[in-house]
Amino acid sequence: MSTVTEKIDAKQVKELRDKSGAPMGDCLKALQEAKGDIEEAFVVLRKRGMASAAKKASRTTNEGAVGTYIHAGGKIGVLVEVNCESDFVARTADFQELMKDIAMHIAATDPRYIRKEDVTPQDLEREKEIYRAQAAQTGKPAPVVEKIVEGKMSKFYEEVCLLEQPFIKDQSLAIKDLIAGKVAKLGENITVRRFARFKVGDPTWTVAQTKPTDEAQA
């Protein structure tokens, strides 16, 4: 056994397990790969989770559950449907925890869409025109202006799309990364299909869902 492996104790593995939600064995392997650096090991686990999620992304998610979250003494409420591949996984503590975390996050951040692909063409063009006009005022060449617009659109997606937003409990983790971690742990594809957010006294409410053409996964 290497010196690095010997230095990795159960406390480090547990800390990474608590931070990532990954199985203990995966946490140990990630710590060994990262030479005992917990933050680097967390990055390793996130990359593996995203890779695992990408492989399972085309798999049908017709099971799942509806989660709820009520905040601020009943002033804000969220309903969210999170889907997976089997009823068994939908009943696990990990899946239920994910659903509650997503509902709580929606209550706090009020996203308008679930994914970047769900943003309407009208909203996209409006934002691009605004950013393009702002950038053009700097007098920079057109290619530079377009780069500026591209950067601002990334920020726009982060502000309005649930999956792109930093998780309120851990700003280093986007919601899509949070889901990817559960996909890697539970071994099934997991998707957010739709949600609704209500606030007492607000004449409007937020309702979002994935595009129907994408919900019918092959």
Per-residue pLDDT, 9: 82
Q: pTM for the complete prediction?
A: 0.75
- The stretch 35-53 carries a mean pLDDT of 78
Domain boundaries, the chain: 3-55, 59-116+161-215, 120-151
Closest to 42 (Cα-Cα) out of 32, 54, 27, 55: 27
Residue with tokens 């140990």: 28
Helical pair 142-160 and 121-136, crossing angle rounded to 10 deg: 130
- Segment 147-189, tens digit of pLDDT: 888 888 888 999 999 999 999 999 988 999 999 989 988 989 9
Domain 59-116+161-215: CATH superfamily is Elongation factor Ts, dimerisation domain (3.30.479.20)
Q: Identify the pLDDT of residue 45.
A: 77
Q: Is the pLDDT of residue 215 over 80?
A: no
Assign domain 3-55 one CATH number from 3.40.190.10, 1.20.1050.10, 3.40.50.2300, 1.10.8.10: 1.10.8.10
Residue 29 has what pLDDT?
Answer: 86
pLDDT band at 201 (very low <50, low <70, confident <90, very high): very high
Residue closest to 114 by CA, chosen among 215, 182, 193:
193
Q: Give whole-number Cα distances, 190 to 5, 6, 24, 75, 202, in Å.
A: 33, 36, 22, 29, 31
CA–CA dist 85, 93 (Å, integer):
16
Structure tokens at 209: 């869902």
Q: Which residue has the higher pLDDT, 41 or 91?
A: 91
Give which of 184, 199, 218, 14 is closest to 106, Cα–Cα. Answer: 199
Most confident of 1-15, 55-69, 140-154: 55-69
Residue 216 has pLDDT above 50, yes or no: no
Q: Which residue has the tokens 């593996």?
A: 48
DSSP secondary structure of 68-107: EEEETTTTEEEEEEEEES-HHHHTSHHHHHHHHHHHHHHH
**Banded model confidence at residue 21, pLDDT cuts 50, 70, 90:** low
Instruction: Please state whether 142 falls in left (phi above 0), alpha (psi between -120 and 50) or beta.
Output: alpha
What rounded mean pLDDT belongs to the chain? Answer: 86
pLDDT digits (tens, 9 = 90+) for 61-118: 899 999 999 997 899 999 999 999 999 999 999 999 999 999 999 999 999 999 999 9
pLDDT for 55 equals 74
The mean pLDDT of 28-48, rounded to a whole number, is 83
